Structure 1
Amino acid sequence: MKQSTCIVLAALNMLIAVGAGAFGAHGLKAILSIDMLAVWQTAVHYQMVHALGLFGLGLLRAQWPDANLLGCSAVAMLFGIVVFSGSLYALALSGILWLGAITPIGGVAFLVAWGMLAWCAYRRQSSSFN
């Protein structure tokens, strides 16, 4: 994933997360149960954290243009946002409990994304690219 694409997707995800957080706090507070509101807020939290992760990956692409693993990490992080947060948003709004079974797939994508970033940084540290 290109640097500018990463940053655009990060900004859009932050925009969505801030809007979803405000919507949950104001628009859904009277509609959802406390448990489902907590599910909603978990989705918002993880979307925000990983949108910042995408932003960081975009910035790193400028510093390490030859590190293709950063692009793979960004794709995994975006996939994680869509699956993890998306399934929790859908669960909170619909009450369809089996959607919670999809959520861990997004969590694994987050782990893979952060692992790829760690591996990329480690490889750069131990190579002659310093």
Structure 2
Amino acid sequence: MNKSLLIWGAIFGIIAIVLGAFAAHGLKPILSVEKMQTFETGVRYQMYHALFLLFLGGLPVASEKVKRICFYLTLFGVFFFSGSIYLLATNSLTSFDFTVIALITPLGGLLMIFAWIVLLISFFKLKKK
């Protein structure tokens, strides 16, 4: 599980940097300030959760079960939250209306929150030495 956490943490980090640079240089001239800020929110939360996965992959006190649950919650959370934000922010650039997927954005946010809650609960369950 640690290897998957580290690999996906690195993948999410790389993609966040690429998308952030693309937005700053390629999208800035064609998106409104509001849409740029929205896009940057997706990038920021993706990077936060890339770091979360890297942290979790190197965390010796979390059980494999906790790591697996957090991994899947974070994976789907980032895809739903950041992915939908990217599509919604660039909606005006395509002929497809991505507003139909707007409801998966908060679902993705909830999944990411639940990943942190699962980790927090596991910390409360740690035995004192």
SS in 1 for 2:29: coil
Match for residue 40 of structure 1? 39
Identity %: 35
Name structure 2 gaps, 5 residues minimum. Answer: 93-97
* Gap regions ≥5 residues in structure 1: none
- Structure 1-normalised TM-score? 0.88
Structure 1 position 97, deviation (Å): 2.9
Cα RMSD of the aligned pairs, angstroms, is 1.5
Shift of 1:66: 3.8
Q: Describe how 1:61-100 pairs up with structure 2 within 5 A.
A: 63-64=60-61, 66-95=63-92, 96-100=98-102
Q: Offset at 1:100?
A: 2.7
Give the SS at the match of 1:76: helix
Give the alignment's TM-score, normalised by structure 2. Answer: 0.89
* Structure-to-structure mapping, 1:1-130, within 5 angstroms: 2-60=1-59, 63-64=60-61, 66-95=63-92, 96-124=98-126, 127=127, 130=129
CA shift for structure 1 position 78: 1.2
Mapped contact 2:62–2:122 kept (Cα < 8 A): no
Amino acid at match of 1:68: K
